[in-house]
């Protein structure tokens, strides 16, 4: 069974930089997994931030960036703002018509 | 403007059935991969199912054999038929459009399914 791993929680100071990661329980994440990232606040539908590892979705501020770092996908927020306090999810396309979400990271900005 | 509107959620007893609908506007569901994603109360997102524009469908192991995804091109609507429902199927169900790079690029607002006696 494929497990996608994310940090359960992270904290960043306003104006600071934070990198959230998305890994695999076995193996490495690559561009072939088409990693994508989503932001979700309580009671709201997810918002698409990044797709295909590093492409920002329309309207997403450029302080959000995606990359592959070593064997993981990464979401970096540069100059974090109070409104970035949310849950962040990554999802990997595993081929064969299957997607797997990570457990999510709760980001606190304080 | 792309819009997805889910409906059909509600309270159902264990073992019961429910059909969710997702009405799409601003694009044709037949031209895209379309998916269902769910979120149990207080939990993370879980991918449930996808239907390709070819009509081929895939399911998460947790729902395989119980759920069926389909679409009605004339009504531009996506469906999820859920049978043999269990308490662990309780969740908000979102429909989502899959973009050309396998990311979910549009989301509905979700519909709540509660499985309880």
Q: Given CB atoms, is A9 within the 8 Å cutoff of chain B?
A: no
Q: Given CB atoms, is B26 within the 8 Å cutoff of chain A?
A: no
Q: Is the pLDDT assigned to residue A8 strictly greater than 90? A: yes
Q: Given CB atoms, is A101 within the 8 Å cutoff of chain B?
A: yes
- In angstroms, rounded to a whole number, what is the distance separating the alpha carbons of residues A57 and A47? 9
Beta strands A72-78 and A17-24, pairing class: antiparallel
What's the confidence (pLDDT) of residue A96?
Answer: 86
- Report the candidate in A1, A21, A43, A27 with the shortest Cα–Cα distance to residue A103: A21
pLDDT in tens, B47-75: 999 999 999 999 999 999 999 999 999 99
- Report the candidate in B96, B87, B84 with the shortest Cα–Cα distance to residue B6: B96
Contact A76, A49 (CB under 8 A): no
State the DSSP H helix or E strand holding residue B112, giving kind and residue range, or none if neither: strand B111-115
B104–A36 CB contact, under 8 Å:
yes
Burial (CB < 10 A; 0-12, 13-18, 19+), residue A56, is middle
Q: Given CB atoms, is A48 within the 8 Å cutoff of chain B?
A: yes
State the DSSP H helix or E strand holding residue A55, giving kind and residue range, or none if neither: strand A55-56
Q: Is the pLDDT assigned to residue A71 strictly greater than 90? A: yes
What's the confidence (pLDDT) of residue B5?
Answer: 98
Alpha carbons within 13 angstroms on the beta-carbon side of residue B59 total 13
Q: Is the pLDDT assigned to residue B100 strictly greater than 90? A: no
Arithmetic mean of pLDDT over chain B: 97
Arithmetic mean of pLDDT over chain A: 96
State the best of B1, B5, B103 to mutate against chain A, taking most chain A CBs within 10 Å: B103
Alpha carbons within 13 angstroms on the beta-carbon side of residue B74 total 0
Q: Is the pLDDT assigned to residue A1 strictly greater than 90? A: no
What's the confidence (pLDDT) of residue A95?
Answer: 81
* Cα–Cα distances in angstroms (integers) from residue A38 to residues A83, A89, B8, B14, in the given order: 14, 5, 25, 32
Q: Is the pLDDT assigned to residue A36 strictly greater than 90? A: yes
Closest CB to B47: pick one of A45, A51, A91.
A91
State the best of B34, B45, B54, B57 to mutate against chain A, taking most chain A CBs within 10 Å: B45
What's the confidence (pLDDT) of residue B108?
Answer: 98
Contact A66, A77 (CB under 8 A): no
Q: Given CB atoms, is A104 within the 8 Å cutoff of chain B?
A: yes
Contacting residues of A for B46, CB less than 8 Å apart? 101
Q: Given CB atoms, is B4 within the 8 Å cutoff of chain A?
A: no
Instruction: Label residue B27 by pLDDT band (50, 70, 90).
Output: very high
Q: How far is B11 from chain A (nearest CA, A)?
A: 19
3-class state of residue A24 by DSSP: strand
Q: How far is A20 from chain B (nearest CA, A)?
A: 16
Q: How far is A89 from chain B (nearest CA, A)?
A: 8
């Amino acid at each position: 069974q494929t497990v996608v791993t994310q940090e359960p929680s992270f904290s960043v100071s306003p104006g600071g930089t934070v990198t959230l990661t998305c890994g695999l329980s076995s193996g490495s994440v690559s561009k072939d997994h088409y990693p994508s990232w989503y932001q979700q606040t309580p009671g709201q539908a997810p918002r698409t931030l990044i797709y295909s590892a590093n492409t920002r979705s329309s309207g997403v501020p450029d302080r959000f960036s995606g990359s592959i770092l070593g064997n993981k996908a990464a979401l970096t927020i540069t100059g974090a703002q109070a409104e970035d306090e949310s849950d962040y999810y990554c999802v990997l396309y595993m081929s064969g018509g299957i997607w797997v979400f990570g457990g999510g990271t709760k980001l606190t900005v304080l | 403007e792309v819009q997805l509107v889910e409906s059909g959620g509600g309270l159902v007893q264990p073992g019961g059935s429910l059909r969710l609908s997702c009405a799409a506007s601003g694009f044709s569901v037949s031209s895209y991969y379309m998916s269902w994603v769910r979120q149990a109360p207080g939990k993370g997102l879980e991918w449930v199912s996808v239907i390709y524009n070819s009509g081929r469908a895939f399911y998460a192991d947790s729902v395989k054999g119980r759920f069926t995804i389909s679409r009605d091109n004339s009504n531009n609507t996506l469906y999820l038929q859920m049978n043999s429902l269990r308490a662990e199927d309780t969740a908000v169900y979102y429909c989502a459009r899959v973009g050309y790079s396998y990311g979910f690029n549009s989301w509905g607002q979700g519909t709540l399914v509660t499985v309880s006696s």
